[in-house]
Structure 1
C-alpha cells in the first residue's frame, strides 16, 4: 500500500545556490525545508543540485554547464518537475523552460500550490486564488504552451489551468474581482471580531509545523486538523477557552515560513488581523528542530512587518519530548561543541534566560508535559490584561460588592 502511494508522487529534483550571503550549511537547511515542502505538495525528491555562484545568473539562474547537467538528468530519469529554492523572475522561468522538458517551479509557486491544496473555506480559496493570480500575471508570456505540455500536477492547481486565464486582461479583471470579494469578507470578519465582545484575545503564532494546532486542541478541547506536514492548518480557528473562572478567546493562525511569498502576506490580511488584534501572543517554537533559532527570527521578522512585534508574548518551546541533544565524551578533544550538544537546561541558561521565567515555557503538547505550568502562566498573563481592562470585575474579584464609582455616588 505504501509502495503504491509512493509511486503516485511526482519525481522531482530541487535546486539551490551557494553565494556570499548563503553558505553551504545554510543551503542544506533551506533544501531540507524545500524537500519537506515538496513532499507536502505530493512530490518525491530524487536528487538535489547546487552550484557556487557570486550571484544568480540573470538569464537561467544557474550557469550553462549546470543547466545542461540537470537537463541530462531530467531526461535519463524521467523527472517531471524541477523546483528552485529561490523565486525565479519571469524571464528566468521562461528561459529555463526552453532548456528542460519538464515543469519549472520556484519556492513561491510551490508554497502557493500547497495553500491551494489546503484551502478549505471559500474565503481561504479566494485568498489563495488572488495570490496565485498576482504571481501569474507577469508570467503569462508563453505560459499556455508550457501548461499544455505539463498536464497538471504540483504547481498547476488554481488559476493557470485554463486557456482563458492566460489572457492578461482577464487575469487583471479577476484580480480586481477577488480583491473586492476579499474586501467584503474582511468587513464581515471585522464585524465578527467586534461581536466577540471584550474578552481577552490570545493568538498562537509560530513557524509552520511547530505544533500550534496540537496545542490548540489540548488547551481548547477543540478538534483542529493536525498532520505532520507543512501548512496543515490554513484557515484561522477561534475557540473560547476557560482556565479556572477566566474565559478568553484563543485563535490558531496560519504558520509562517522563511521566504514567505509577499503575495500571501498581502492576500491573507484578514487572517493576519487575528494576530494584529490579539492582546497576547503565544509564540510556539519546535525546539526539536535543528534550525529553531532561525525559525524564531523569521517569525519575529513577519511580526515586525505586520506591526505586531511589540505585543505581550510568551515563548512556548514545544516538542521537548522529541528534543535530542548530542553527547560529547569528557575525553573527546576533537569534536567541537555546538548548540546541538545543549541539553534543555543548557538552553534555559542561554539567551532564553533573558526572556524571563514568566515568558518562556518548555512543554510537550502531545504528551501534555509541563502543561499545568503552561496553563498557569497563560492564566496569569490573561488575568493581568483583564485586570487592566476591567479593574473592578466582581466576577473575578468577589471582594468588591460594588464598583468604587457607584460607592462614591452613594456617599454623595
Structure 2
C-alpha cells in the first residue's frame, strides 16, 4: 500500500492552501527575521550585554523546536487551524512582552519562550503538514517550494518595514505595531481549516505516535537529516541575528544591514522555489549536500574578501539563494520515506534539531563576542559545519521505508 494514497475527505484547493499558508509564513517568519535589528537598540536602552539579548533569542529558537514537536502532534491529530490561531495569539503577547520587559529574565520569557512557542504553531512544520495531507506526492516538493518561496517574501518585505518602524517610532512602539499585525494570521488560518478535522480527531491511523517515532529514530537517514538540519539552524540564525551588529562594528551603516537582510529574503524566494522544483526531478539529498557545501564556500569568500557595502550585498544575495532552500527538500524527503500520517510531528522533530543548532549559533555568537570582541571564531565554525552537513546528507536513502502488514506483506511498496 502506498504511503500517499489520498484520504476520503475533500482536499483544500491548491490555490487556497498555498495563498493562506504563504501569507501566514510571510508574517511569522518575516517578523522573526528582523529581530537582529533590535539587538543594539534594546541592549543600549536597557544597559544589557549582547549575550543577554542573544540568550533570549537562543531560548526562542530552542522553545520553537521543543513546542514544534507538540504543535506537530496536535496538528496531525486535530488539524492545523487551532494550532495556527493559538500560535498567533501567543506571538502577539510575546511581542508586547518583548517591548515591555524591564529585566533580562522577563525578556527571555517573552521574547524567548512565548515567541518560540508561537513560531512553533505558525511556521513550516504545521503548514507543511497541511500541504502533505492535501497535495499529491507528484507535486508535493514543488508545492512546498512555492509555499517557502512565497513565505520568503516576508523577509524581503518585513525586515525593511521593521527597520522603518524602529527609526520612525522607536524600538518599543515598533514591537507594539507588530503585535497587532501578527494577529492577521488568525483569519488567514481559516483558509487551512481541513474538513476531515472539523468534527474531532482524525480517522484511525495505521501507526501510533510511539510506533512512528520508534521507526523514525531507528532509521539512519532520519538521523542524518537531523544532523544536517542542526547545521542549517546554526548558520542562518547566527547570521540573521548577529550580522547587523557585525557590520556596524566594522563601520558600515545600519541601512547596509537592513538592505542585506532584505536581499537575503528576496533571493530566498528564488532559492526555495528552485529547491522545491528540483526536488521533483533529482535526488533531494544531492540538493541538500550542494546547498550546505555552497554555504561554506560563500561564507569563506565573504570573510576573505575586503568588506564593503557591495561585498555585503553580494554575500547576502548568494546566502539568500541558500537560506531556507533546505526546507522543501528536507520535508519532502521525510514525507517520501515515512508517509504523511505523522508528517507534522516528524517534521517537528527534525526541526527541533535545527533549533538546537539555532540556539548554539545565536548564543555562541553573543558569548564569544563578549569574551573576545570578535565574531571570527563563530564564522569559522559555520564554515566547518557546512562541509560536515554536506557530507552527512549524501548517504540519505530516499526510498519509502518498508513496513510489514499483519498478513506478512510489505507496506509502502
Query: Is the pair's TM-score, using the shorter chain for normalization, greater than 0.5?
Result: no
- TM-score, normalization: structure 2? 0.23
- TM-score, normalization: structure 1? 0.23
Higher relative contact order (Cα pairs below 8 Å, separated by 6+ residues): 2
The structure with the greater share of residues assigned to strand is 1
The structure with the greater share of residues assigned to helix is 2
Q: Larger Cα Rg: Structure 1 or Structure 2?
A: 1
